[in-house]
């Protein structure tokens, strides 16, 4: 039986993790592991139940109906299948699917708790990834979409499995010890974003993905509304930043495809440091490309920034050799031809949006949407507060 080409994947690093000053203050090791998985898209090898290591399917997987679907829609499958929860993105769940012959696929489905908005629309995400498969943007080839909720309790889609490292943190940066290789990877982060923004949405069938104008105003309205729906407490910086940004929205240029969560650890690399696939397209829409640049900067902290700003866990770009924020922004500006004079506005928007997304994740944890609630869950809430404060700081630096 011929094996399919391996394509969407999430590699497991065996490197010893770097101590994280934020996670070290968490009251529960269980929450720390879940923060790692939620933020960094990393499988936790010691959580056998969630990975199906004991033979039981993990939460969110209905084994027999899914095997029937694979039998009808995927050729050459050698049953039985093994399902392993490997990533959560900001909300949607990803599972590695392995058959008896070692063939692998990736399955995406919505979170187990309450679903909010188009970010959990599997058909929409499938459409985006399918359309980009015919462009220069590196994505995982899709296998199929199932919108019949009787199969697995929610819509889902399946991709081929991409092998390669994901640089989640400083430990994974050691996969590429040469500083020149690290600089090249950072430059490819900028170059790949330029590729995404260069795609003509109409030409690839994504012209109806979203309204093309007034993107930032719509984002401010949408995410503030999502804050009102999912917040667990009042947080004044969120409202102040919303008002301040709404009062001075830069004029938008031509609309492009916007990834919505573009960062280094949403990329699968090859062994030589090329970009094999950009993943987690759940927030993709049409709009202002500079919003992607601003959010990338929020995910790309500088050495010397406070520990509280590095809320997602000492990202790989802090390792020697990676370009600085200014160098990434300059390369993007040079390759895209776009004016970044309003970049601080978009960086503030990025921190603000990230704080709201993580508040939604926190709310789902509290509601039990990700399983057992740990005693240290409120450390998650403090991360949201620090990101909101950083958003206000960047907005005021305008």
pLDDT in tens, 191-248: 999 999 999 999 999 999 999 999 999 999 999 999 999 999 999 999 999 999 999 9
Instruction: Provide the pLDDT for residue 247.
Output: 98
pLDDT exceeds cutoff 90 at 29? no
Q: How far is CA 130 from CA 138, 240, 320, in A?
A: 11, 39, 36
The half-sphere exposure of 218 on its side-chain side, counting CA atoms within 13 A, is 12
What confidence tier does 24 reach under pLDDT thresholds 50, 70, 90?
A: very low
d(CA 238, CA 390): 10
pLDDT exceeds cutoff 50 at 273? yes
Q: Specify the range with the lowest mean pLDDT, choosing from 222-231, 259-268, 283-292, 307-316.
A: 307-316
pLDDT exceeds cutoff 60 at 311? no
Instruction: Provide the pLDDT for residue 16.
Output: 32
Instruction: Provide the pLDDT for residue 38.
Output: 46
Instruction: Provide the pLDDT for residue 375.
Output: 65
* Average pLDDT of the chain to the nearest whole number: 84
pLDDT exceeds cutoff 50 at 358? yes
* Beta carbons of 238 and 388 less than 8 angstroms apart: yes
pLDDT exceeds cutoff 70 at 292? yes
Q: Specify the range with the lowest mean pLDDT, choosing from 10-14, 214-218, 257-261, 368-372.
A: 10-14
Q: Look at 354 and 81; give whichever has higher pLDDT.
A: 81
d(CA 329, CA 339): 10
Please tell me the total number of residues recorded for the chain in this structure: 398
pLDDT exceeds cutoff 60 at 51? no
Percent of the chain scoring above 70 in pLDDT: 79
What confidence tier does 360 reach under pLDDT thresholds 50, 70, 90?
A: confident
Domain architecture of the chain: domains with CATH? 23-27+44-160 (3.30.200.20), 170-397 (3.90.1200.10)
CA of residue 289 relative to chain centroid, distance: 17
Nearest to 335 by CA among 136, 133, 125, 142: 136
Percent of the chain scoring above 90 in pLDDT: 69
pLDDT exceeds cutoff 60 at 41? no
CA angle 36, 165, 145 (to 5 degrees): 80
pLDDT exceeds cutoff 50 at 260? yes
Average pLDDT in the 128-148 region? 98
Q: What is the 3-state secondary structure (H, E, C) of 174-207?
A: CCCCCHHHHHHHHHHHHHHHHHHHHCCCCCCCCC
pLDDT exceeds cutoff 60 at 73? yes
pLDDT exceeds cutoff 90 at 340? yes
Question: Could you give the residue ranges of the DSSP H alpha helices within the chain?
Answer: 29-40, 48-51, 63-73, 122-132, 149-152, 170-173, 179-198, 215-230, 236-246, 290-298, 325-336, 343-366, 378-397
Question: Could you give the residue ranges of the DSSP H alpha helices within 19-60?
Answer: 29-40, 48-51
DSSP lists the bridge partners of residue 383 as none
What confidence tier does 173 reach under pLDDT thresholds 50, 70, 90?
A: very high
pLDDT exceeds cutoff 60 at 289? yes
Instruction: Provide the pLDDT for residue 246.
Output: 98
d(CA 323, CA 179): 10
């Amino acid at each position: 039986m011929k094996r399919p080409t391996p394509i969407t994947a999430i590699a497991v690093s065996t490197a010893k993790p770097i101590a994280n000053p934020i996670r070290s203050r968490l009251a529960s090791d269980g929450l720390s592991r879940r923060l790692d998985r939620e933020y960094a898209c990393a499988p936790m090898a010691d959580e056998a139940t969630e990975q199906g290591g004991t033979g039981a399917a993990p939460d969110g997987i209905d084994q027999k109906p899914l095997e029937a679907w694979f039998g009808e829609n995927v050729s050459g499958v050698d049953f039985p299948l093994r399902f392993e929860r490997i990533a959560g993105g900001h909300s949607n769940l990803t599972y590695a699917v392995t058959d008896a012959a070692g063939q692998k696929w990736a399955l995406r489905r919505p979170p187990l708790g309450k679903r909010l908005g188009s970010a959990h629309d599997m058909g929409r995400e499938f459409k985006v990834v399918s359309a980009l498969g015919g462009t220069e943007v590196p994505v995982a080839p899709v296998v199929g979409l199932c919108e019949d909720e009787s199969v697995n309790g929610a819509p889902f889609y399946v991709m081929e499995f991409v092998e390669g490292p994901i640089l989640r943190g400083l430990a994974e940066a050691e996969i590429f010890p040469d500083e020149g290789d690290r600089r090249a990877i950072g430059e490819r982060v900028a170059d790949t974003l330029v590729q995404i923004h260069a795609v003509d949405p109409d030409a690839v069938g994504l012209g109806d993905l979203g309204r093309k104008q007034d993107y930032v105003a719509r984002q401010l309205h949408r995410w503030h509304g999502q804050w009102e729906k999912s917040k667990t407490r009042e947080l004044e910086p969120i409202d102040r930043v919303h008002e301040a940004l709404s009062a001075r929205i830069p004029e938008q240029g031509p609309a492009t495809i916007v990834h919505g969560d573009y960062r280094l650890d949403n990329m699968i690399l090859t062994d030589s440091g090329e970009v094999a696939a950009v993943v987690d397209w759940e927030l993709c829409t049409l709009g202002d490309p500079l919003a992607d640049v601003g959010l990338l900067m929020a995910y790309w902290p500088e050495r010397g920034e406070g520990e509280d700003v590095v809320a997602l866990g000492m990202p790989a770009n802090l390792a020697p050799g990676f370009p600085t924020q200014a160098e990434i922004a300059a390369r993007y500006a040079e390759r895209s031809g776009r004016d970044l004079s309003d970049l601080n506005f978009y960086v503030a928007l990025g921190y603000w949006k990230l704080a709201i997304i993580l508040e939604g994740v926190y709310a789902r944890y509290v509601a039990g949407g990700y399983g057992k609630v740990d005693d240290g869950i409120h450390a998650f809430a403090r991360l949201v507060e620090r990101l909101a404060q950083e958003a206000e700081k960047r907005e005021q630096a305008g």
